[in-house]
A and B are shown apart, each in its own frame.
Chain A
Amino acid sequence: MAKKIVEITMPQLAESLVSATVDHWLKQPGDMLDMYEPICELITDKVNAELPSTVRGKLVKHLIGAGETVEVGAAICLVEVEADAEADTEPSAGAQEPVSPAAPAGGLGTTDTASGALGSSGTRGGEPASRPAAAIAPASGIDANAPMRHRYSPAVQRLAAEHAIDLNRVSGTGEGGRITRKDVQVAIASGNASIGTASAVNPATAATAPIASSAPSDSSLAPMDPKIPVRSTGIHLSESPRIPSIEIEGQEVPGRGEYFIDVTPVRNTIATRMRQSVSEIPHGWMMIEVDVTNLVLLRNKLKDDFRKREGINLTYMPFMIKAVVNAIKDYPIMNSVWAVDKIIVKRDINISLSVGTEDSVVTPVIRHADQKNISGLAHEIDDLARRTREKKLKLDDVNGGTFTVNNTGSFGSILTQPIINYPQAAIITFESIVKRPVVINDMIGVRSMVNLCLSLDHRILDGVICGRFLQRVKENLEGYNLDTKVY
């Protein structure tokens, strides 16, 4: 049989002992050892004892000489045993400590519109090697929507008040974008974020004496920046869309305040399609509101890592599409076409995305969307959006869609009446995510709410089935939580 060499280690003979001395060896190299046979005598401060062998085999080598002292756990000799014999190992040290997640600071992800992304301000802490010092974050990295951004600790408020610091201009390096005491101290030192002509009142001595009596009065809190709206309106365009500049043919008619824009081929196509859809399909309309608080948390938690790992942004669309696709699987009639004497229910779920550019809207298709996970959907969306902007779409990209999802929230709207993408049966929009007070268990809570609007072909679909479908989409969206996997 094959042999292997194992170690015998110094045990802990009694509580509080950390080392022991080998007085003399009872067994020499070459001797056979039986299980529990004494191999040496040990001396400690508390007890003297014989050490029994914990393996059966042949003693090969003394690692410690007589009279030497070693720490508990150190190897004292080598024994040759049968290869399948289990050496007496110490109970393994505790499980590896989980790596603490990086501080999820940074902006909300982009929409899939052409307008540039807000961009996650990514240079915050998380890399093991870098120092998470407060001062290093660039000024442009202030993300007004980071979850902990407006949680001011007492120390922060006091320092800001005493030094007339505008907290809205201080970047936060703490958890969730929180402004830490150090961040304010840095701002004080750099003078970057002072309010007006900053005449510093009572420079704070941060260290010693407890501040018992000098409670800051209400007036000394940093004044609210009027540019920040009281209500957060969720996703919105970061820049105003450019007005399409198209050459004007013809001339201005003097005295009348109007001018002409030529109709491009794309505009023509859109017009035709819209006309056809509206005139042929009797549009019904339905709406439901969804609590996506957990989805927002989930996405915030994941997006930095996702960006690093995948190189693209993680927006809400992949989550929405997945929720819709799963609901379609439960209610396949939503994925159908009216064919006068029959209704054709499509098996493939190809999701048409509305991608807006400055002057038009295109609907490229994610084929077999049901076979993709959230990460995959994110990649597809990004790819299609990019190619749309770069005008690199092929015919295949825009054909074959069976259901359309439109991210109207990216325009800031909260209600839309979309027009069905002919000849599909329905179109659903994902509006702006808005923080609203809602009633939960008869108490008021603040939740992130989003409206989903559904236009339906009333020849195929009725209220009940659509209601159920919307409910299912709602359930799926509300089912996202911090444990949801994107792969």
Chain B
Amino acid sequence: MPVIEYIEAIRLAMKEEMERDNDVFVLGEDVGLKGGVFGTTKGLQQQFGELRALDAPLAESAIAGVAIGAAMAGMKPIAEMQYSDFMFPATNQIISEAAKIRYRSNNDWDCPVVIRAPIGGGVFGGLYHSQCPESVFFGTPGLKIVAPATAYDAKGLLKAAIRDPDPVIFFENKKCYRLISDEVPEEDYVVPIGKSKVMREGTDLTVIGYSMPLHFAMQAAEELSKEHGIEAHILDLRTIQPLDREGILEAAAKTGKVLIVHEDNKTGGVGAEVGTIIAEELLYELDAPIRRLCAPDVPAMPINPPGEKHYLLNKEKLKKAMLELARY
């Protein structure tokens, strides 16, 4: 099975879906001729033409709004936000419109739009090229939100999103683009939206999270296993909304000790909801208070290297937190 980079998995998902269905197209700033500022849409305009890999003017609300209109007309648009930091002008379209179209028309109209946006830091992007704004959209009914951590999941989830009849926000991690590679089948497959995945089996503590920090958790888990005989159970949420309640509860109950990790700010983040679900359902399985390891409640990370490092999660921080919890 070929091993491909996370960014290539995303590109292939779009390419294959556009080959499969003429109604699928992508639009955004620089996605056409340039192939995207990261290269995510490279080759698409050459293969599918100017209209299906459409260079849009610099206007995020229009990019989202036009995509929403086209989706209502029966197309399957993929709107790219160049950085999630810049998607906020589109928030009105996403939350007031896309999320509510089916509900407000009593199922008469629907909006099968995909909005892709790169999240995450560790690339010396500073305050406005590194944010994780998942919590802004999280909790808006009518939206689906996914955030893959592996190349396999990136391809499968993007395909699922494109085929989904409801609006899906696809948060791809820019640090993962070229850092993460794994086995991706060549044949067509889909990762179902709303299903988490156990990345690693364990018995001493459970780590639940999404996107880049899970890779640190995996590295820390290896070291903890070798050095302390501690086996961590790691659950990749993959879909943030709707959360896989069953998967979360099963993983939490396995060890009774839960550490929730994400790169978005701690307060009001997805982790707060995951923790509360566990607290609501699993009181008598808990062997330790539920812990969260997230970014600090600071607007965003500085660009100076020590500042960025201090803000971000890394293997050492994960390892320390996991060890402490295992020993509790």
Contacts and interface: CB of A to CB of B under 8 A. Distances in A.
Interface string A1-31: 0000000000010011111000000000000
Interface in A157-202: 157-158, 174-175, 178, 180-182
A153 B288 contact: yes
B174 A15 contact: yes
A419 to B, nearest CB: 49
B58 interface: no
A12 B178 CA distance: 13
A131 interface: yes
A46 interface: yes
B178 A100 contact: no
Interface string B298-328: 0000000110010000101001100110111
B88 interface: no
B140 to A, nearest CB: 26
Interface residues of A, number: 40
Q: Which 8 A-B pairs have the closest CB atoms?
A: A15-B123, A131-B229, A181-B287, A210-B281, A158-B284, A155-B287, A16-B177, A97-B316
A153 B249 CA distance: 17
Contact of A211 (B282, B314, B319, B328): B282
A131 B324 contact: no
Interface stretch (B24-32, B92-100, B250-258): B250-258
Contact of B254 (A132, A207, A209, A211): A207
A131 B228 contact: yes
A156 B287 CA distance: 7
Interface string B163-195: 000000000001101110000000000000000
A157 B286 CA distance: 10
B287 A16 contact: no
Contacts of A211: 282, 284-285
A206 B285 contact: yes
A217 to B, nearest CB: 13
Contacts of A103: 327
A212 interface: yes
Contacts of A18: 178-179
B286 A97 contact: no
A321 B158 CA distance: 70
Nearest to B281: A210
Contacts, number: 98
B227 interface: yes
A221 B90 CA distance: 55
A365 B228 CA distance: 46
B12 to A, nearest CB: 15
B283 to A, nearest CB: 5
Q: Binding site of B, secondary structure by majority: helix, strand, loop or mixed? A: helix
B84 to A, nearest CB: 14
Nearest to B179: A18
B292 interface: no
Given A91-B305, A100-B323, A153-B256, A207 B250 contact: yes
Nearest to A17: B178
B178 A16 contact: yes
B159 interface: no
Contacts of B319: 97
Contacts of A131: 228-229
B238 interface: no
Most buried by A among B123, B253, B306, B309: B253
Interface string A339-361: 00000000000000000000000
A214 B327 CA distance: 28
Nearest to B130: A15
B37 to A, nearest CB: 8
B267 to A, nearest CB: 24
A210 B249 CA distance: 7
A46 B38 contact: yes
Q: Binding site of A, secondary structure by majority: helix, strand, loop or mixed? A: loop
Given A91-B305, A132-B229, A133-B229, A153 B254 contact: no
B328 A174 contact: yes
Most buried by A among B39, B288, B323: B288
A443 interface: no
A210 B282 contact: yes
Contact of A154 (B175, B228, B286, B305): B286
Given A153-B286, A181-B255, A182-B287, 16 more contacts: A15-B129, A16-B175, A19-B178, A94-B316, A128-B227, A128-B228, A132-B326, A154-B286, A180-B287, A206-B254, A208-B250, A210-B281, A210-B282, A212-B281, A215-B284, A216-B284
Interface in A91-110: 91, 94, 97, 100, 103
Contacts of B288: 153
A401 interface: no
Interface in B203-249: 204, 227-230, 249
14 contacts: A15-B125, A15-B129, A16-B178, A94-B309, A97-B320, A100-B327, A132-B229, A153-B288, A155-B256, A181-B256, A207-B254, A210-B285, A211-B282, A214-B284
A206 B282 CA distance: 11
A97 B123 CA distance: 23
Nearest to A131: B229
Interface string A121-134: 00001001001110
Contacts of A214: 284
A301 B25 CA distance: 63
Contacts of B316: 94, 97
B124 interface: yes
Given A133-B229, A207-B253, A210-B285, A16 B323 contact: no
Nearest to A159: B284
Nearest to A90: B305
Contacts of B305: 91
Contacts of B179: 16, 18
Contacts of B178: 16-19, 45
Contacts of B125: 15
A192 to B, nearest CB: 20
Contacts of A97: 316, 319-320
Nearest to B124: A15
A128 B323 CA distance: 11
A359 B319 CA distance: 55
Given A94-B316, A97-B320, A206-B253, A154 B285 contact: yes
Contact of B123 (A16, A19, A208): A16
